[in-house]
Structure 1
Amino acid sequence: MLPTRRPSIAALLAIGLMVLPLSGCSPEAEPPEAPPTVVDSHVIRGDNGMAPTRLSGRVKAAERTALSFEIPGEIRRLPLDVGDGFSAGQPLATLVEDRYRLVADQRRAERREAEAVLREKRQDYRRQASLAEKGYVSDTRLDAARAALDTAESRLARTRAAQALAERDLRLTTLAAPFDGSVSRRRVEPSERVGAGQPVLEVISDREGFEVETSVPETLVGALEEGARHRVILPALGGAGTPATLRHLGTQPRSSNNYPVILALDAPPEGIRSGMTARVALSLAAPDGDAALPVPLTALVHDGEGAAHVLRIGDDRRLERVAVEVVSLDDGLARVHGALAPGERIVARGAEFVSAGQRVALLGEGPERYN
């Protein structure tokens, strides 16, 4: 049996050097691509050029006014309370009339005195004129009689006017209803002194129906026209709705550049009251035929300084940033202008957690996946 030869150390090193280059030439394995993020999506639907916008408003009587006395005085009677009805011409409040009655009596006495003086001066003038024709008195004396007669006539005219004013003031101690209606507010109480023109009662009319007052932002003013018909919903009456005609569109803004709008209710539902809250559904025609498209409020990503964008989902499921202009907000929806079209799909919520260029998967499509 021949002895076994063991390899030398030099031979083993040579073999190892030959193996190292071969192992270094093997390609590295690329890391697997991250799974796409699952997002909730929304398909944009068209509005046929009309955008119903809901606003909050308040019901008011179409004819309402604050009543006041034309003269100052102390309130004697104020028999009606808030909510009480009345008829046209019915006394609503009275002042203490003693002083005005005394003044009226004084003016009547002054008129009677002026009438007596006028009769005396008229007789004196006739007598002087007769004597002047016969040459018994001078022209100077006749002129003096004529002047005295003119003065007496002027005095009578003045006292008649003063009497008419005094009697008018006496009548004005009673505040009469200008129309059929009801009391909406009492501004004073009996025994209280009031000045001329100071509001005493606020009243509403039953003859002109009701209207709703609301306000719209400046971006929607151009889409409204007087005479256009919209819809008003009254939550206090179980959500009863009624058509309404736009009667007035303000030309001066209120706070925050909101313009006042008044709509007349065409068919007020039974039980309506002034002061009720209302929801106004305005049908706004999009300007220049460019319809604003509805998107979920949660789809908007605000860029600051009023700018916003949404993320459109392409056919390859990659996201694309689309700048939009918000036209109105309504019940969880925003109506926007931008490079969007009905039928396109956008990220409905969580858009701030994904970015343009990122590949996504749609919630509810394919196998269930958790991020």
Structure 2
Amino acid sequence: MNYESSIDSAVDGQELAGGPLDAVEEEDRRSRKRTILIIAGAVVLLIALFFVLHGFGGQEAEKKDQAPRVSVVAPGAVTVEGMINVNGSLAARREMPVGSVGEGGQVRQVLVEAGDWVRAGQVLAVIDRSVQVQQQAGSGAQIAVAEADARLAQANLDRALKLVDRGFISKADVDRLTATRDAANARVRVARASFAQIGAQIARLNIVAPAAGLVLERRIEPGQVVGGGSGVLFRIAKDGEMELKAQVGEMDLAKVTAGVSAEVTPVGGARKFTGQVWQVSPVIDPQTRQGFARIALAYAPELRPGGFASAVIKAGTMVAPMLPDSAILSDGQTSYVYIVGKGNKVERRNVKLGLVTDKGIAIASGLSGSEKVVLRAGGFLSPGETIQPVAGKP
């Protein structure tokens, strides 16, 4: 028995007990009946609404709560300065090997050490010249003899010319005396040339610096016998200038031009040195696919030829969005990122990479910078997946 039938029974019971109801009572009964029905319907409606909100609605909320929380960022657009990280060996920019250019001999004295600064023409080592000095003295004596013979020949010619007019000397005798005088003068010139030659040989015995610079290496000691075949005895860095011969990959080498600046850090040192690329290799090694960028550096004690150093070469600027490496994915053919689309659904966006810096990678095309880009865990997402975006830091 429901609630409505109970009410009807009660009313019928009153009719039986108290007699027929008048019209007013009948109308009042029907009004109460309608009120009860309305209240009952409202209660049913509230119960249904409760189940909708806490049943199906709760499932939707629970589903939303189960969506993964993913860090995203809107990168914007910044001015990016390209940086190319390279490594290489330090060396003298212009290294001058110095050896013995004369006939050589025994080393008497070495006047410089490695690390000394020298000027152009400065004597680096002295070679024994005792034999050459005696030869020069003999050559000087030969000059004196030749000059005496020349003076005598000239005097004989002068006397003969005075006797020609008197008929005591024939023309043939004058010609003979003239030839004798000319030969004597020629012997004087030969003797003088021989003397100068020996003097030049003595001067070449000294080992001198061809230009001003820093002595890098000394391979000569007193008592050593040297000559033209002794090889390199000193190595000098012209003007003390150094360079880093940096190995650069084929792709990066195309971005490097002469004149761009670079920052060089020797291994084991904390100090950084500013240099400038002065030469870019015109060829690429077919085996390593690398070339060289030569970075000129001013002299500093920390820059030791033969040492290893790293460098950062500036490779131009561009205005573009900047993203960390973790945000960029690749399928082997193209690079792409995930962005947050409508309804917080993941969308794939192909991009073209630009300059690489220590702060991230510039996006040359594919993004405007206003998109919300997934920063990390992109490899675990798929297009169309719903996420909970959380603002993150690059």
TM-score by length of 2: 0.61
Structure number with greater Rg is 2
Q: 1:263 to 1:148 in 2, by over 3 A?
A: same
Q: Write out aligned runs for 1:167-246 (5 A).
A: 167-177=199-209, 182-189=214-221, 190-195=223-228, 198-204=231-237, 210-217=242-249, 219-220=251-252, 223-224=255-256, 226-238=258-270, 240-246=271-277
**Map of 1:154 onto structure 2:** 186
1:284 is aligned to 2:328: no
* Distance change (3 Å), C-alpha of 1:365 and 1:329: closer
Contact preservation (8 Å) 2:67, 2:388: no
Moved more, 157-166 or 106-115: 106-115
Q: Distance in 2 between matches of 1:187 and 1:362?
A: 72
Moved more, 60-69 or 214-223: 214-223
Q: Distance in 1 between matches of 2:177 and 2:86?
A: 79
Aligned equivalent of 2:295, options 262, 268, 271: 262
**Secondary structure, aligned partner of 1:56:** strand
Q: For 2:136 and 2:326, locate their aligned partners in 1 and report how far apart those are by CA, in whole Å.
A: 71
1:163 Cα offset (Å) = 1.4
Query: In structure 1, what is the equivalent of residue 325 of structure 2?
Result: 296
Count of aligned pairs:
317
- Structure 1 unpaired stretches of 5+: 1-34, 367-371
Q: What is the match of residue 159 of structure 2?
A: 127
Equivalent of residue 283 in structure 2, options 253, 278, 282? 253
Contact 2:338 2:347 in 1 (8 A): yes
Contact 1:71–1:197 under 8 Å retained in 2: no
**Relative to 1, partners in 2 of residues 1:48 and 1:118: Cα closer, same or farther, differing over 3 Å?**
same
Q: Distance in 2 between matches of 1:333 and 1:108?
A: 79
CA distance in 2, matches of 1:115, 1:292: 91
Match of 1:296, as an amino acid?
D
1:109 to 118, 127, 141: 141
TM-score (norm 1): 0.64
Task: Report sequence identity in percent.
Answer: 16
Displacement of 1:358? 4.4
Structure 1 residues 117 and 211 mapped into 2: Cα distance closer, same or farther (>3 Å)?
A: same
Structure-2 change in CA distance of 1:338 and 1:163 (3 Å): farther
Superposed counterparts of 1:1-371, under 5 Å: 48-61=79-92, 64-77=95-108, 79=110, 83-85=114-116, 87-88=118-119, 91-177=123-209, 182-189=214-221, 190-195=223-228, 198-204=231-237, 210-217=242-249, 219-220=251-252, 223-224=255-256, 226-238=258-270, 240-246=271-277, 248-250=278-280, 252-253=282-283, 255=285, 256=289, 258-265=291-298, 271-275=301-305, 276-285=307-316, 296=325, 299=328, 301=330, 303=332, 308-316=333-341, 317-318=345-346, 320=348, 322=350, 324=352, 339-340=366-367, 342=369, 345=373, 358-359=383-384
Q: How has the CA–CA distance of structure 1 residues 150 and 237 changed in structure 2, closer, same or farther, with 3 Å as cutoff?
A: same
CA apart distance, 1:186:
2.8
Letter matched to residue 108 of structure 1: G
Contact 2:77 2:322 in 1 (8 A): yes
* Cα-to-partner distance string for 1:197-217 (whole Å, 9 max, x where unaligned): 832111336x65554443545
Change (3 A) 1:273 1:228: closer
Change (3 A) 1:235 1:350: farther
Matches of 2:349 and 2:102 in 1, distance apart? 70
Q: In 1, distance between residues paired with 2:282 and 2:193?
A: 45
Distance in 2, Cα, partners of 1:202 & 1:96 = 22
**Range with bigger deviation, 292-301 or 128-137:** 292-301
CA change 1:227–1:324 in 2 (3 A) is: closer
Q: Which amino acid aligns with 2:237?
A: I
The AA in structure 2 aligned to 1:94 is V
SS of the residue aligned with 2:79?
A: coil
Q: Which residue of 1 aligns with 2:43?
A: none
Given the superposition, is the C-alpha separation of residues 199 and 39 from structure 1 closer, same or farther in structure 2, using an over 3 Å criterion? farther
SS of 1:273's partner is: coil
SS at match of 1:172: helix
Amino acid at match of 2:236: V
Output one character per residue of 1:27-75: Cα deviation in whole Å (capped at 9) or x when no partner: xxxxxxxx99999988767552531222224444566422222213244
C-alpha distance in structure 2 between counterparts of 1:363 and 1:120, whole Å: 119
* Contact 1:41-1:349 within 8 A present in 2 as well: no
Distance 1:74 1:131 in 2: 57
CA contact (8 A) 1:64 1:202 kept: yes
Task: State the Cα deviation string for residues 102-139 of structure 1 (Å, max 9, x = none).
Answer: 43234323323322332232223323333334444343
